[in-house]
Chains A and B, each alone.
Chain A
Amino acid sequence: MHEIFKDQNLGAMQKVITSLRFSFLILLFFPTYSFAFSGDQHATTDGGRVNEDEEIAEFIKHHIKDAHDFHLFSYTSSHGERKHIGFPLPVVLWTANGLVTFMSSAFHHDDEGKVIVEKNGLRFVKYHEKIYQLENGADGLVFDEDHHPVNAEKPLDISITKSVFGILLIGLLLLIWFSSLARQYKRRQIPTGFGRVLEPLVIYVRDEIARPNIGDKNYRKFTGYLLTVFFFIWILNLVGLTPLGFNVTGQLAVTGALAIFTLIIYLFSGNKHFWSHILWMPGVPYLIRPVLAVIELAGTLLIKPFSLLVRLFANISAGHIVVMSLIAIMITLKDELTPAGSIGLSLLLSFFITLIEVLVAFLQAYIFTMLSALFVGMAVEEHEHHEQHEHH
């Protein structure tokens, strides 16, 4: 009876995995095609190689940045009209007249500061994904030599941008997954369904990352944070590989916030030994102690969080840029390799680099969690007496 149950379950699992695999493949090729078509359109309407290269660079830059709306793809209709497919997100601004909200579709996909939106007696334009509030009488942005607008100011922008939307979405998803997993343990020993995928990962983070780095005595207190960070980064990295175009973990603000969380946790949980080793290092001559204190303080307060934030940001952004550049091969090498050849080459390369990116997505989540655990472990470590060094 048990065996049959197991077999059925295995069959269902396999089906799920196969269908997941297919949808993954479809997801993988979707952005490739949309990019290729948009490139084709430009080659015929604008022509010119230089133009094309600039546009590819522009496209990649745009993709890496946060945005006020979801932009899936664009095309030129038969009437010669430029059409954009995507969906808008709410814009929330804190101005002198209080809170101002409207949907980003009010800008009509304009990013050059041309479309003016009037709300609450204030007028706004969007220029390079930044929203400016125009001064009275101005009807367009004017820039000085340093590209700073002279007749507009930036209101406090707390919009639900693409990245914020991604964070909320993944946060909700994680909440649903893990609360249902936690509820299952009340009824039975082994979780069912998707919980079976999550359980080994949770145990992996607890036993391979938290326990060895923080120590048997203290690890329980910090496992919750490490698990949250691990799954948050990992799922967002994976979502970044889908054609939705998220680049949440490639935003300095997001990785910076995560690094600051780790910084706060290890600063506030640091014990007496941790602080004495930073501020007044025992066992070295008194003259050197202040010098060491400066170095240690810089390392603890700046270098550790900075390395955490730059590593994640740079890895994910670099991955996105590489994938986009390889996809762009089908446009740039079209003449040398024939269209079929360039598309084949770029599909092959981008397929394999995307597989590597799936690995990097996990590795970066692992490394961020591992280093966070290591830093926390250094702060809460129980030091034995220094005489023990002789036994080594």
Chain B
Amino acid sequence: MTVPNLVGAGLIVIGAGIGLGKIGGSAMEGIARQPEATGKIQTAMIIIAALLEGLAFGALFLGK
């Protein structure tokens, strides 16, 4: 566990956090504008969030 590894993993996790926030926020806006599309928006949101989460976990895993 070296310092560059930790900093790199931290940066990726920060980026993933920002990304997750944007996904969640946009999904909320979308649902507010079109409540009848809630189900479809949620599904797409979860898929993208899962892909991003995989990246963040990969960083944690490799940065360890």
Contact = CB atoms under 8 A, between A and B. Distances in A.
A298 to B, nearest CB: 14
Interface of B: 43, 46-47, 50-51, 53-55, 57-58, 60-61
B60 A371 contact: no
B58 A310 contact: yes
21 contacts: A212-B43, A306-B58, A307-B55, A307-B58, A308-B54, A310-B57, A310-B61, A311-B57, A314-B57, A314-B60, A314-B61, A363-B46, A366-B46, A367-B46, A367-B47, A367-B50, A370-B43, A370-B46, A371-B47, A371-B50, A374-B47
A371 B54 CA distance: 12
Interface of A: 208, 212, 306-308, 310-311, 314-315, 363, 366-367, 370-371, 374
Contacts of B55: 307
Given A308-B54, A370-B50, 17 more contacts: A208-B43, A212-B43, A306-B58, A307-B51, A307-B54, A310-B54, A310-B57, A310-B58, A311-B53, A363-B46, A366-B46, A367-B47, A370-B43, A370-B47, A371-B47, A371-B50, A374-B47
Contacts of B61: 310, 314
Nearest to A309: B54
B1 to A, nearest CB: 15
Nearest to B54: A307
B21 to A, nearest CB: 18
Contacts of A367: 46-47, 50
A371 B47 CA distance: 7
B53 to A, nearest CB: 6
Contacts of A370: 43, 46-47, 50
